[in-house]
Structure 1
Amino acid sequence: MSKAFGFVAYGGPETQEFLDRPVPVPGPGELLVAVHAAGVNPADWKVRQGLFGRKTPVPRVLGLEAAGVVQVLGEGVTGFVIGDPVFGPALGGAFAEHTLLAAAEAAEVPDDVSFAQAATLSVAGATAYDAVAQLGLEAGRTLLVLGVAGGVGSVAAQIAVARGVTVLGTASDQAREYVASLGATQVRYGEGVAERIRAAAPDGVDGILDLVGGEDARAAATTLRPGGRLVSTADQATAAGLGGEYVRRTRTSAVLAELAALVAAGAVDPHVSETFTLDRADEAMLAVESGHARGKVVVEIR
């Protein structure tokens, strides 16, 4: 059996509990992985709440991204061998001693990258990479990241800075130093945000990555230069109403490999802010669900 943490009914934290499940068997194109670390994301508690639908039967294991060591190769898998350190989106839950990865969406963990770092890249990191690529800003341009202190925003800012883009990011004043550590300039969010953005970028911004939606996104959009682009992960309707686009996800091993290479080179720090053992997975969920986590939270299994 394989120990896991998940939920037994859709709802609040009270539905979470530890589960014992058979060790998963990889199907064609899949890898069985002994999990060393799993990233925690806001989407985890939203899945538990049923905000993405309630069709998947419960009990259900939580966790969307994992890093570990290959134990078994599914039929037709090439490019990996047993014992390889790998990471990717988890099939069937990552907060577990074992999980499955789709080989086409998995990548090897480089020597200079920890399992905890790698476990943060498949969801927030890859979303950030795809969004920055979609914006297509050249060196010397200015990017505004709404919600820069979270998991997606932190990585997006660093990728953009590595490409020679000037980055502004909305966050609380308490996060000013953290935002500066990303290579970005903090702008306080909330009422009057458009005026503060204009003060930091008098000529406007060339691109906006919207991670928050709502009134801040509508206000910030007024600072976009003619011909500028807006990409959102927060709200498809708002993005479309502002003339922008929703983020297009690629979900390939190539993107994960590029992200891992950026981490290995020191160009991107996933900023793992807190780690919890599997038996404290409920605390890890609470840290993210509270909305106060900065950077990434990780559950370490081994």
Structure 2
Amino acid sequence: MKAAAFFAPGPPDVLQLIELPRPEPGPGEIRVRVRAAGVQPADLAVRQGWGPPGIEVSYPQILGNEFAGTVDLPGPGVTGLSPGDEVLGYRTLGCYAEYLVVPADQVVARPPSLPARIAGGLSGAGQTAHTAVEELKVGPDDTFLVHAAAGAVGTVAVQLARLDGATVIGTASPANHDYLRSLGVIPVAYGDGLVDRVRAVAPHGVTASLDAAGADGLRAAVELVADRHRIGTIVAFDLYRELGVRWLGSKRSAARLSDLVTLYRQGKLRIELRQAYPLEQAAAAHHDVGTGHGRGKVVLTC
């Protein structure tokens, strides 16, 4: 099978298309023929030398933590899944490949209304956003500030918060303001004066905030939100402890992913696809995600 992997940390160009044997599923596992795999900021961090907690990076290392595809071969003891079933799911590393093996309880059915390219990028951003909105206890009495609101995680987070009845303010580049308005979000531009601009559109204050942008957004949230337990970040690795706010890791599960699929199928969740790259252009996909301030999700197709 073909896979996009790297042999040593470095810039995007260390990613290479290589040939590897197809993996074999063990008990309770399935082999999936991958159709699309999402590209996440965490993938870029691993490529640059970061190791996910509890995971040993070994070379050649295949990246990718989310996918959509077709069941190719169920392993021993697997019931309820058959060859040809359309699924989406998650695992830690190994998704930038034509085939992968994953525990059967880490996939859910992909309905026909959910395109494979969208499904391939749903789990990472979707489950991160779903976890964040849940952990920050966002509800109808809240004014919720989301930094990088037009990005992959932000796009899902603002929609989930709106479904929960919250007023949502989102920071984004001006080119994405109309997009945020279409999601029911009050847009605010990045840059100097951010705190004052947020206060101008939130006269009754901000009660919770999710940072998917970095240090500037997180520092602004600390000025705006009184309860630091209701401020979370998914990107400011080196700052959250100093500021006394929360690191929000994704609590992935098939049940959480299934909730997101249901919302999409019901027309309550919109997923923006920024760009789909073929597997051999994994380096270009990493360049794209690394630019920041992009709208929606980048995926690789196999």
TM tier, shorter chain?
over 0.9
Name the CA distance, whole Å, in 2 between partners of 1:98 and 1:237: 35
Q: 2:12 — aligned with what?
A: 13
2:153 is aligned with what amino acid? V
1:13 is aligned with what amino acid? P
Name the CA distance, whole Å, in 2 between partners of 1:224 and 1:208: 7
State the shift of 1:196 in Å. 0.8
Name the CA distance, whole Å, in 2 between partners of 1:158 and 1:32: 33
State the shift of 1:235 in Å. 2.8
Runs of 5+ consecutive residues of structure 1 not aligned to the other structure = none
Name the CA distance, whole Å, in 1 between partners of 2:247 and 2:229: 15
1:50 is aligned with what amino acid? G
Q: 1:62 — aligned with what?
A: 63
Please give the per-residue CA displacement for 1:212-250, whole angstroms capped at 9, x wherever unaligned: 231331222221145871122123563344443221432
Does the 8 A contact of 1:143 with 1:207 survive in 2?
A: yes
Is structure 2 residue 267 aligned with structure 1 residue 266?
yes
Q: 1:37 — aligned with what?
A: 36
Does the 8 A contact of 2:228 with 2:245 survive in 1?
A: no
Where 2:221 maps in the other structure, the secondary structure is helix
Structure number with the higher strand fraction is 1
Is structure 2 residue 41 aligned with structure 1 residue 46?
no
Q: 2:252 — aligned with what?
A: 251
Q: 1:143 — aligned with what?
A: 144
Q: When the two structures are aligned, how many residues end up with a matched partner?
A: 300
Closer/same/farther in 2, CA of residues 238 and 279 from structure 1, 3 Å limit: closer
Name the CA distance, whole Å, in 1 between partners of 2:229 and 2:191: 22
State the shift of 1:66 in Å. 0.7
Q: 1:202 — aligned with what?
A: 203
Does the 8 A contact of 2:139 with 2:161 survive in 1?
A: no
Closer/same/farther in 2, CA of residues 114 and 256 from structure 1, 3 Å limit: same
State the shift of 1:135 in Å. 1.3
Does the 8 A contact of 2:150 with 2:295 survive in 1?
A: yes
State the shift of 1:20 in Å. 0.3
Name the CA distance, whole Å, in 1 between partners of 2:276 and 2:249: 30
Q: What's the TM-score once normalised by structure 2's chain length?
A: 0.92
Q: What's the TM-score once normalised by structure 1's chain length?
A: 0.92
Is structure 2 residue 244 aligned with structure 1 residue 230?
no
Runs of 5+ consecutive residues of structure 2 not aligned to the other structure = none
- Give identity over the alignment, percent: 39
